[in-house]
Structure 1
Amino acid sequence: MISFPGIGASVALLLTYYGRVSAQLDRTGWTVSVDSAQGTWNPASYAIDGDASTFWHTQWTPSTPNLPHNITIDMKAPRSVSALTYLPRQDGNRNGNIGTYAVDVSVDNKTWQMSVASGNWIDDSVLKKANFAAQTAQYIRLRAITEAGGRGQWTSAAEINVLPPAEPSKGIWSAPFNTPLVAAAGAVLPTTGKVLLWSAQFVDHFNGTGNTETATYDPSTKQVSSLSLSNTNHDMFCPGISLDVNGNVVVTGGNNAAKTSIYDSKLGQWTGGPDMKVQRGYQSQTTLSNGKIFTIGGSWSGNGGTLRNGEIFDGTWNKLDGCPVSPMLTQDQDVSNGVNWRRDNHGWLFGWKDGSVFQAGPSRAMNWYTTTTTTGNQSAAGDRLGDADAMNGNAVMYDAVAGQILSVGGAPNYENKTGVNYVTAATTNANIITINAPNTTVKTESVAHMAYPRAFHNSVVLPDGSVFVTGGMQYPKPFQDDLSAFAPELWNSTTRTFTTMNPMSIPRNYHSIALLLPDATVFTAGGGLCYGPADSCTNNHFDAEIFSPPYLFNATDGSAASRPKLTSVSSLSFPVGTNLTVSSDSEIKQFSLVRFASATHSVNTDQRRIPIQPVGAGQANNYTVAVPSDAGVALPGYWMLFGINGAGVPSVATTVQIRTV
């Protein structure tokens, strides 16, 4: 166990469990002051006494002061701090659990920097964390603005702790910021760099049909705006998602199981598309080398009992009955809603050469689908050796030139249920899958495993070829946060090993997303969004966080790294096989193309990375960048072009479009 001076063993265990925090300041001699306390029964000092069985509680008899309440910690000397943890009372009673909160800091207890972190904590007994940018402070104040369960005007806390700045070598998390909905799905818009987010007909639960609540996050302004979508009559909860050749977001099925809606990323408008031939929810879909879109599976929603074979979209939908879903079914033992309702969910699909589709999972059996004939075709691709069915796991194409895919985590069955005897524990498994020509047996290789078992997690390929794995839980339990993995892991594609990163503030499990942004950081949000009514959804996360990977910091002192800048690109829209001339303000060692992405339910079929070794163009900092000539490798659509210097630091991306012609 990690040693934490000045706190009891019971609290140390709670703090370190499952990667929640990694370091803590010595609290010896610290004092606290509060606006209210229940006498000697629940004094303020209990919030920093190192004993999880005691707790501070605001006055509740003979009178009850109104919210908001606050507790201020005097650390007795200025210190560098970057996070606060809050442990709710642990006696089984939830009265006083903090809901909406804010954290303030001060050097002198007079001049305060307000709301360095703010947000909403859910109503349970799990340790909470609020990250913020590193500050020098002697005083730190936690303001309880609401009581999480709305039970009364009181506040309580078993333990409040302050954390030093995180090690930049393990990445830095932003403070959480609020979103107006639970972001169960999202896509990065190529034309603006904004992140399009959506939930369901409601912002906090999903038992409706007919419209979708949406929002956009703008990384340049750090602002979130919301709007209500009703013009397509489509509840896009649990859909398939693809970014097409023109950067439009094509969303299919879900609660309205046959619908298609298309978001024009240039105009910022939704329009209705043609209905699919097969009703679907929990399906996956992917853009192909010819610009068409393929989808398969999705028995969660729609016409129960039928097999959801493949179909293809090229302005209209056409069934491909020669692309059967049956070969890719998992062996999930939950048959409560029909034999196949879990078994064809969330396929790991990759558009590949000659209009083919490679299905890497989550079934152990992998398959090829041919889409260029009238009815399509299927052939076996072999088993994912060293792995079992891995529902709610991830697969990421980190090197499209080499046809290499990393698969991580997942569980044999979709959901952990009480009173059943089948295996649902998530795994730590990691495998490399290498594909080449379509319709051939693929190579699989088991590699060093993750530190934490994960299901419902998200994985994001970074410009340098590493894969960032974040969130997830030890047992797949929809709408819950039990046994969450707070510490993400970074997979190195050269050493083929994982390194544990600094922990995030908020658990991200079922209905969470993670997406690479053009500035080479990672956006993560959501989690929760249960079947209503809204007050039954006790683990909703109306917030987002940004992760800055270690490559953005200097290894010597942790300061922000100097980033190269791409000053010009000879063409921003071009066909495959083009040689680009790229100029930069400093030396570039490698370029990479990373496709703009979308995500929902742990599935992101849009992302992939193309590494490119540049060729000098005859003068300093001018390079020839050769785009692969195969559209199955360089899928048509919008990509982020990064330049990476000798220290491994990526530029901010230049957006480019690879066309079909």
Structure 2
Amino acid sequence: MDCTAHSIEYDVASNKFRPLTVQSNTWCSSGSVRPDGVLVQTGGDRDGALKARTFSPCDDNQCDWVEINNGLAKRRWYSSNHILPDGKQIVIGGRGQFNYEFFPKTTSPNVIALPFLAETSDKGEENNLYPYVFLNTDGRLFIFANNRAILLDYVKNTVVKTYPAIPGGDPRSYPSTGSAVLLPLKNLEADKIDAEVLVCGGAPKGSFILASRKRTFVKALDTCARIKINDEDPQWTVEKMPRARVMGDMTLLPNGDVLLINGGSAGSAAWELGREPVLVPDLYHPENSVNSRFESLNPNTIPRMYHSTAILLRDGRVLVGGSNPHAFYNFTGVLFPTELSLEAFSPAYLEPEFAKLRPKIKSPKSQSTITYGMNLKVKFEVAGKVKGPVKVTMVFPSFTSHSFSMNQRLLVLDNVRVERTSSVFGALFGKSRNYEIQVRTPRSAIIAPPGYYMMFVVNQNIPSEGIWVRLQ
């Protein structure tokens, strides 16, 4: 067998890995975590394009990938997945596929046409691959491709809203690869929940053709666009980033900030087409006013170009890896060698000076099950002071590929009550102060699909280590 596809199970705490077996080509595939914690991966290239694969976690090192032949009705390469309120996945688009389907297959038609994907496909560039897909708080899907978006009722197969194009008209999806997140969802008990999408970076129209045919590498886009998707008349607000970025990753942090990391400042996605690595990560503060939302962080030293990735860890760090702009492994004689290392990026909230402010969750225990619409008591301790509103956040695990973290979702739970449970005398003798916060869990699977979430307590913008909870 050749080495076009690999898989490992990585133990973050011990920094050890266990090789797994992939039996078909997973290149440029997509996926999501099922409500029962099973990872589902769909599609890929060549013999993998119609496959679905599942990986069920285990404690005895015996679990491995299970392949499902013809798990898909259409060949899916560069498509996007999203978990739905019923626990199924929708699989949208892919190269030459202007349609969507469900996994596992439903009683509805196996394949449903989505003309929007054809309308956003530029000749020669496409720019509609790996579309940005988010479950809106009304149960419909926000789908972004190229430079515009729709709101899709996937049950009725009806486009219920068409959004204006991003000002400037430049594309933001593959191969003009930017990134996107659904900003933290708050006030979950409200009748109408605000939902905002942030799209950052990308490459100007024509960048892919100029890079691939003429070896001309155009400067990437240096703007973000933000929109309230439930407004009566939604409009994009455009703001400048500290630097241009294509192929960057956007990761939601437990305190609600957004990390922008990886990528280049010129060229396009695809083999050998990116230039000028961006080594400086940027932090985006959604709650700040326009023009005061970005903060530049300490640079790294390893270029993370095409085929790089970033994902949030339970301890609050961000795992960063990859970079292989080549069709094979090339370690010498190339502009950007194949990169096999992993890095852990530690946001400022992990600095020693904030250790006393960092909460530690005492209950519920990790792996606990919670239900919709319940009052949940979360007990935690803090060595220092608790100030201002304490937040409890829940983060759904993402499937990250090609600068888009599918299913990434952060919920800020509504607080009911916070009270201190330890005595004053204990604090005088240097013991941590104990607190109990009562929060309301999301009321429905439309707001928070069922499954496993990382739960954090956030004090003065400093998050605890997360615990896993299963919402059902």
TM-score when normalising by structure 1:
0.60
Unmatched segments (≥5 aa) in structure 2: 187-193, 422-434
CA shift at 1:386, angstroms?
Answer: 2.6
Choose which of 334, 357, 362 in structure 1 pairs with 2:141.
357
The answer as to whether partners of 1:396 and 1:407 remain within 8 angstroms in 2 is yes
Residue of structure 1 equivalent to 2:67:
272
CA shift at 1:398, angstroms?
Answer: 2.1
Matched, 1:569 2:364: yes
Residue of structure 1 equivalent to 2:465:
652
CA shift at 1:309, angstroms?
Answer: 0.5
Matched, 1:598 2:399: yes
Matched, 1:490 2:283: yes
AA aligned opposite 2:199: S
AA aligned opposite 1:283: S
CA shift at 1:534, angstroms?
Answer: 5.6
Matched, 1:403 2:199: no
CA shift at 1:237, angstroms?
Answer: 1.1
For 1:345 and 1:548, how far apart are their aligned partners in 2?
Answer: 31
The answer as to whether partners of 2:180 and 2:198 remain within 8 angstroms in 1 is yes
Cα displacement string for residues 431-454 of structure 1 (whole angstroms, at most 9, x for unaligned residues): 222223xxx866233243211111
The answer as to whether partners of 2:127 and 2:145 remain within 8 angstroms in 1 is no
The answer as to whether partners of 1:322 and 1:377 remain within 8 angstroms in 2 is no
For 2:355 and 2:226, how far apart are their aligned partners in 1?
Answer: 32
Name the CA shift for 1:643/1:559 in 2 (closer, same or farther; >3 Å): closer
The answer as to whether partners of 2:74 and 2:111 remain within 8 angstroms in 1 is no
For 2:28 and 2:207, how far apart are their aligned partners in 1?
Answer: 15
Residue of structure 2 equivalent to 1:430:
224
For 1:431 and 1:622, how far apart are their aligned partners in 2?
Answer: 38
For 1:260 and 1:239, how far apart are their aligned partners in 2?
Answer: 10
CA shift at 1:477, angstroms?
Answer: 4.8
Matched, 1:453 2:453: no
Alignment of 1:81-480 (within 5 A): 202=3, 206=4, 212-223=5-16, 225-230=17-22, 233-255=23-45, 256-266=48-58, 268-273=63-68, 274-299=70-95, 306-314=96-104, 319=109, 322-327=112-117, 329-330=119-120, 332-334=122-124, 342-353=126-137, 355-359=139-143, 361-373=144-156, 376-387=157-168, 388-391=170-173, 392-401=177-186, 402-411=194-203, 412-413=205-206, 415=208, 416-420=210-214, 425-436=219-230, 443-474=234-265, 475-480=267-272
The answer as to whether partners of 1:297 and 1:309 remain within 8 angstroms in 2 is yes
The answer as to whether partners of 1:479 and 1:527 remain within 8 angstroms in 2 is no
The answer as to whether partners of 2:71 and 2:103 remain within 8 angstroms in 1 is no
Q: Which moved more, 1:602-611 or 1:420-429?
A: 420-429
Matched, 1:545 2:352: no
The answer as to whether partners of 1:329 and 1:343 remain within 8 angstroms in 2 is no
The answer as to whether partners of 1:552 and 1:561 remain within 8 angstroms in 2 is no
Residue of structure 1 equivalent to 2:190:
none
Residue of structure 2 equivalent to 1:160:
none
For 2:303 and 2:331, how far apart are their aligned partners in 1?
Answer: 19
AA aligned opposite 1:543: S
The answer as to whether partners of 2:9 and 2:20 remain within 8 angstroms in 1 is no
Cα displacement string for residues 190-237 of structure 1 (whole angstroms, at most 9, x for unaligned residues): xxxxxxxxxx962xxx4xxxxx311232221122x241414xx32111
Unmatched segments (≥5 aa) in structure 1: 1-199, 207-211, 300-305, 336-341
The answer as to whether partners of 1:513 and 1:524 remain within 8 angstroms in 2 is yes
- Aligned to 2:394, the other structure's residue is in SS state strand
CA shift at 1:512, angstroms?
Answer: 0.7
Cα displacement string for residues 536-582 of structure 1 (whole angstroms, at most 9, x for unaligned residues): 9942111111111112226xxx5755521010028922332222111
For 1:418 and 1:322, how far apart are their aligned partners in 2?
Answer: 33
Name the CA shift for 1:277/1:354 in 2 (closer, same or farther; >3 Å): farther
- Aligned to 2:349, the other structure's residue is in SS state helix
Name the CA shift for 1:235/1:292 in 2 (closer, same or farther; >3 Å): same
- Aligned to 2:235, the other structure's residue is in SS state strand
For 2:97 and 2:247, how far apart are their aligned partners in 1?
Answer: 24
Name the CA shift for 1:424/1:357 in 2 (closer, same or farther; >3 Å): farther
For 2:50 and 2:297, how far apart are their aligned partners in 1?
Answer: 41
For 1:406 and 1:534, how far apart are their aligned partners in 2?
Answer: 35
AA aligned opposite 2:348: P
Q: How many residues align?
A: 427
CA shift at 1:370, angstroms?
Answer: 2.0
Percent of aligned positions that are identical: 24
The answer as to whether partners of 1:331 and 1:389 remain within 8 angstroms in 2 is no
CA shift at 1:485, angstroms?
Answer: 0.5
Residue of structure 2 equivalent to 1:74:
none
The answer as to whether partners of 1:288 and 1:357 remain within 8 angstroms in 2 is no
Q: Which moved more, 1:512-521 or 1:234-243?
A: 234-243
The answer as to whether partners of 2:417 and 2:439 remain within 8 angstroms in 1 is no
Name the CA shift for 1:610/1:227 in 2 (closer, same or farther; >3 Å): same
AA aligned opposite 1:448: E
Name the CA shift for 1:600/1:533 in 2 (closer, same or farther; >3 Å): closer
Matched, 1:608 2:409: yes
Cα displacement string for residues 97-137 of structure 1 (whole angstroms, at most 9, x for unaligned residues): xxxxxxxxxxxxxxxxxxxxxxxxxxxxxxxxxxxxxxxxx
Residue of structure 2 equivalent to 1:500:
296
AA aligned opposite 2:449: L
- Aligned to 1:326, the other structure's residue is in SS state helix
CA shift at 1:276, angstroms?
Answer: 0.6
AA aligned opposite 2:244: P
For 1:551 and 1:404, how far apart are their aligned partners in 2?
Answer: 24
For 1:425 and 1:590, how far apart are their aligned partners in 2?
Answer: 39
Alpha-carbon RMSD across the aligned residues, in angstroms, is 2.8
Choose which of 613, 628, 633 in structure 1 pairs with 2:447.
633
